[in-house]
């Protein structure tokens, strides 16, 4: 039975911290990596741990800059590698729109049909629409009876809790400290994430898309006081396996 591994690349919401990145996660099984979002600073950080040439699939949850700012330079990276004659595949962006991301033969866009199941490498992939100012999808990657759910951005909902139910690893956005009216902004705060975890019961909870002010450990303590499962604060290169 194989495992799924999640490696956090970027954990900040809105803007990266010095030397860091915004939303980006590597999900791997059978040595096949899929990137969830590619925010600001992500392409630089990824290369600290692997060649970007080894990644062919990038899922874009939505077109907010902190989730796709490095998509354009990722395409240039692949163009350069192909023009240098390296043995690389074209990049495939899985997204709801093509935008400027399709540039054959270097990159293609596979348009997401949120109502049907995708196959990416060894994963089956399902999506769920979030309540957010622009169209945004939560993503579930399943492999060998295990699953990773990435909430992307959006207000808490019972549907999200059902979608996240019994995931082995849940990457939950936590944009705000508790009680800051986050649902109006189409985001979750620490109270929402604690409520989500309590209903969904993930094997591991990764709290991410974090504010770039205040003490992030306050978020962790708040959530841990309300949900007793395994909970980790996202940071670059944090790796969790299930
Ligand atoms: Zn967003």
Structure tokens at 189: 């705060």
Provide the pLDDT for residue 1: 62
| Ordered per-residue pLDDT tens for the chain, 242 residues | 689 999 999 999 999 999 999 999 999 999 999 999 999 999 999 999 999 999 999 999 999 999 999 999 999 999 999 999 998 999 999 999 999 999 999 999 999 999 999 999 999 999 999 999 999 999 999 999 999 999 999 999 999 999 999 899 999 999 999 987 677 789 999 999 999 999 999 999 999 999 999 999 999 999 999 999 999 999 999 999 99
- In-domain check, residue 3: no
- In-domain check, residue 6: no
- The residue length of the chain stands at 242
Q: Cα of 143 to ligand 1 centre, how many Å?
A: 27
Please give the distance of CA 119 from its chain centroid, rounded to a whole number: 17
Q: Is the peptide bond before 9 cis (omega within 30 degrees of 0)?
A: no
The number of folded domains in the chain is: 1
Tell me, what DSSP letter sits at residue 223?
H
Q: Cα of 8 to ligand 1 centre, how many Å?
A: 18
Cβ-based burial of 199 (10 A; exposed 0-12, middle 13-18, buried ≥19) = middle
- What CATH number should be reported for the domain holding residue 142? 3.60.15.10
Structure tokens at 91: 């990049």
Q: What is the dihedral of CA 214, 155, 208, 241, to 10 degrees?
A: 160
- In-domain check, residue 98: yes
Structure tokens at 103: 């540039």
- In-domain check, residue 66: yes
Provide the pLDDT for residue 200: 97
Q: Cα of 132 to ligand 1 centre, how many Å?
A: 7
Q: Cα of 30 to ligand 1 centre, how many Å?
A: 30
Residues 39 and 87: their CA atoms lie apart, in Å, by: 26
- In-domain check, residue 205: yes
Q: Cα of 38 to ligand 1 centre, how many Å?
A: 13
The DSSP line for 120-162 is ETTEEEEEEE--SSS--EEEEEEETTEEEEE--S----HHHHH
CA atoms within 13 A on the CB side of 98: 6
Residues 27 and 36: their CA atoms lie apart, in Å, by: 7
Q: Cα of 187 to ligand 1 centre, how many Å?
A: 8
Q: Cα of 102 to ligand 1 centre, how many Å?
A: 22
Residues 48 and 24: their CA atoms lie apart, in Å, by: 14
What is the reported pTM?
0.97
Q: Cα of 65 to ligand 1 centre, how many Å?
A: 8
Which residues, by Cβ under 5 Å, contact ligand 1, an ion? 64, 153
- In-domain check, residue 93: yes
Q: Cα of 154 to ligand 1 centre, how many Å?
A: 7
- In-domain check, residue 82: yes
- Strand spans (E) along the chain: 5-10, 24-29, 32-36, 57-59, 91-95, 107-111, 118-120, 123-129, 137-143, 146-150, 169-173, 204-208, 230-233, 239-241
Q: Residues 146, 168: contact at Cβ < 8 Å?
A: yes
Q: Which domain range does residue 96 map to?
A: 11-241
Q: Cα of 70 to ligand 1 centre, how many Å?
A: 15
Residues 239 and 74: their CA atoms lie apart, in Å, by: 22
The strand pair at 118-120 and 123-129 is best described as: antiparallel
Q: Cα of 224 to ligand 1 centre, how many Å?
A: 25
């Amino acid at each position: 039975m194989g495992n799924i591994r999640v490696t956090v690349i970027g954990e900040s919401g809105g803007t990266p911290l010095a030397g860091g990145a915004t939303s980006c996660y590597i999900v791997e099984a059978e040595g096949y990596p899929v990137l969830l979002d590619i925010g600001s600073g992500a392409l630089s950080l990824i290369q600290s741990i692997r060649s970007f040439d080894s990644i062919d699939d990038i899922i874009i949850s939505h077109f907010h800059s902190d989730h796709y700012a490095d998509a354009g330079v990722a395409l240039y990276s692949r163009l350069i590698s192909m023009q240098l004659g390296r043995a690389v595949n074209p990049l495939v962006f899985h997204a709801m729109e093509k935008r400027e991301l399709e540039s054959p033969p270097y990159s293609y866009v596979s348009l997401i049909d949120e109502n049907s199941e995708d196959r990416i490498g060894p994963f089956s992939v399902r999506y769920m629409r979030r309540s957010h100012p622009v169209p945004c999808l939560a993503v579930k990657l399943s492999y060998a009876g295990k699953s990773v759910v990435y909430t992307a951005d959006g207000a808490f909902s019972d549907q999200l809790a059902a979608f996240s139910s019994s995931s082995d690893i849940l990457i939950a956005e936590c944009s705000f400290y508790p009680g800051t009216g986050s649902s109006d902004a189409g985001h979750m705060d620490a109270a929402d994430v604690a409520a989500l975890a309590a209903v969904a019961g993930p094997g591991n909870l990764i709290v991410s898309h974090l504010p770039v002010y205040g003490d992030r450990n306050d978020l962790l303590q708040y959530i841990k006081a309300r949900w007793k499962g395994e909970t980790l604060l996202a940071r670059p290169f944090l790796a969790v396996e299930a």
